[in-house]
Each structure stands twice: as C-alpha cells, then as structure tokens.
C-alpha cells in the first residue's frame, strides 16, 4: 500500500457533538498512525474551520474520526459528497440511519434480525401515565437512552419503577424523544466489520466485562476497570452466530468501509441481540476496533491505513463525455 497514493489527507476530529473529547483522542491517534506510515496527514476540526477549506487547501481524502452529531449522522458525509472528497466509513443514508437507533431497530426488525423490544417516548409523553405504560410493556430492568447519541451519553439502566422519571429527565437533556429498550440480562460483546458489500468481513468478537455491568462513559474511556477479552473465549458456534448477524445488520443498513456492532447475549438461552451499529467507532487507547484488529494480527497503524484505503464517495463524479 503506497502511502503517497492517498495524497493530502484530512483527519477530521473534534466537532460539535457531546463526544468531542473522545473524537479528539481518536483523531490524534489516527493522525499519528498515518504520519508514521508516511501519509501526508493533517488535523482538521470542523467546529473551528469551514469545510470548504478542504477543497481550497487541496485535500484528496478525509479520515472521519468524528463521533456523534454532525460527524457520524450523514450531515458531514453529505457535505463531503458535494465537495467531491472521498471519506472513510459509511455514506450519507447509512450514516443517518445508523445514528438513529429507533430507525435502525425498525429496519433490523423488518429484516428479521434480533434486537431488544422497545418503545419511544415523545416530548409530551413524559408524564407518569406514559411511564407506567413503558414498564408494563417492557418490564424491568429497562434502558432509557437518547436515540441519536453515542458513548453511553444520557443512558440510564432503570431497575425500579421510581427511577424511570429521573432517567427520562436525564435523557431529555440531550433530545426530546427517547428510546426505552428491554434490558437483556447477559454478556455484552462487540464485533467490528471491515469492507463493503460482498467483501465485508467481521473481525474477532470482543467480550466486555465491566464492574457491576456499568459499561458507561467513564469506564469506557477513562478507567482501567473494564476487562476486555479478545479472543472472546466464547464457543465457536456462538462467535460464528454473532458474526453472522452483525454482518447481516451491517449490510441491512447499507454500511461500507468499517463499523462496529454492539451485541448482548441473553444469559437464559445464549441468544444474541443487536443493540446498535457504530459507523465511526472510537480509535482511542481504550477502543475496541483496534483491539479486535490486533487479535487478528493487524497493528493500529496498518488498521488506519486499511480504513483510509476504503475511503469513497456514494456518488463519485463521472467523467464528462466530449460532444
């Protein structure tokens, strides 16, 4: 892989979402990795500079290390399509769909893929009557989350009926419509995917063991309290089934480039359930895609090169025919 063939590369990091801090960590790691491989890579924070500068300054492709809104939700991807600059990760539609956890679940359910039962709470449905109906429909424990945030931001595990109102109040700080989801009791795992279409393939499953099951924002990024097992230690048949549904989920959304699906394995019958698809996963020192790639024999630096090589446009410009 010739690093010079990538041309001038912008590593997009920071941004305006609630995950800005993590994006800066991801982007810094990617930037250093690409430079170590001889890529002409430069940092670019869209919250501080106009995107049009990518064109005027002659960037040839973008590595998206942004997480959350305005970086992972299709808006940035649409701008890059208009600028004609290839970018890493999924295109406009897939990014938008995957960022919306409710829409993702609807699509997966339509395709017969397993995902926990759920309901939504609109801004006018935060009263006690609607909250009691949520518990009646989903039982306890349950999860309350903003459907357009990541990194466990605004998420609460509700174990008692009296906790639901405060969980809804927390989630509503991020967006008015909330997702309430059946809590699957069991083990949490994650499985990355690299590639597009028929050539897409999964990387090894990572099993996550968090203290008291609290795989929250702090434990994800800023402590060493979580244990990660890769190889997962799961039976080969279980890992194969997880890989199968993750690949199907990735293709169902139309993802390309790379991504990572989060999955719960129900303890009672070992059935896996898809939680969400990340189309711009973390690339920090605690992140799971690099960990999985390393188990498959790929270094962090080579992983960054592989992802960059898959940069593309949904609608590449066509050569104009001469009359």
Catalytic residues: 19, 151, 221, 260, 262, 276, 278, 282
Distance CA 111, CA 100 (A): 17
Distances (CA, A) of 263 to 100, 203, 216, 260, 284: 17, 14, 15, 10, 20
Distance CA 147, CA 108 (A): 15
Closest Cα partner for 252 from 310, 193, 205, 304? 193
Other Cβ atoms less than 10 A from the Cβ of 143: the count is: 19
Query: How are beta strands 8-12 and 40-44 bridged, if at all?
Result: parallel
The burial of 64, by beta-carbon neighbours within 10 Å (0-12 exposed, 13-18 middle, 19 or more buried), is given as buried
Closest Cα partner for 54 from 43, 67, 65, 68? 43
Query: How are beta strands 61-64 and 8-12 bridged, if at all?
Result: parallel
Distance CA 44, CA 50 (A): 10
């Amino acid at each position: 892989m010739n690093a010079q063939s990538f041309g001038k590369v912008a590593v997009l990091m920071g941004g305006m979402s609630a995950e800005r801090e993590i994006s800066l960590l991801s982007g810094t790691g990617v930037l250093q990795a690409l430079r170590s491989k001889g890529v002409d890579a430069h940092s670019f924070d869209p919250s501080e500079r106009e995107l049009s500068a990518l064109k005027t300054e002659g960037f040839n492709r973008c590595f998206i290390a942004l997480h959350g809104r305005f970086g992972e939700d299709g808006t940035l991807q649409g701008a890059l399509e208009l600028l004609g600059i290839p970018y890493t990760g999924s295109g406009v539609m897939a990014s938008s769909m995957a960022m919306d956890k409710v829409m993702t679940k609807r699509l997966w359910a339509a395709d017969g893929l397993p995902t926990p039962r759920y309901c939504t709470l609109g801004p006018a449905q935060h009263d006690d009557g609607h909250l009691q109906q949520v518990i009646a429909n989903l039982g306890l424990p349950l999860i309350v989350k903003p459907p357009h945030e990541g990194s466990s931001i605004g998420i609460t595990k509700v174990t008692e009926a009296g906790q639901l109102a405060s969980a809804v109040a927390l989630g509503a700080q991020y967006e008015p419509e909330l997702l309430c989801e059946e809590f699957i009791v069991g083990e949490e795992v994650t499985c990355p995917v690299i590639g597009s279409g028929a050539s897409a393939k999964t990387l090894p499953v990572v099993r996550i063991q968090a203290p008291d099951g609290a795989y929250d924002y702090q434990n994800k990024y800023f402590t060493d309290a979580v244990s990660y097992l890769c190889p997962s230690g799961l039976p080969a048949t279980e890992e194969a089934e997880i890989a199968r549904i993750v690949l199907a989920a990735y293709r169902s959304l139309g993802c390309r480039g790379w991504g990572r699906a989060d999955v719960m394995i129900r303890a009672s019958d070992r059935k896996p359930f898809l939680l969400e698809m990340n189309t711009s996963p973390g690339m920090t020192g605690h992140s799971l895609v690099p960990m999985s790639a390393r188990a498959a024999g790929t270094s962090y630096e080579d992983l960054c090169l592989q992802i960059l090589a898959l940069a593309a446009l949904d609608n590449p410009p066509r050569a104009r025919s001469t009359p």
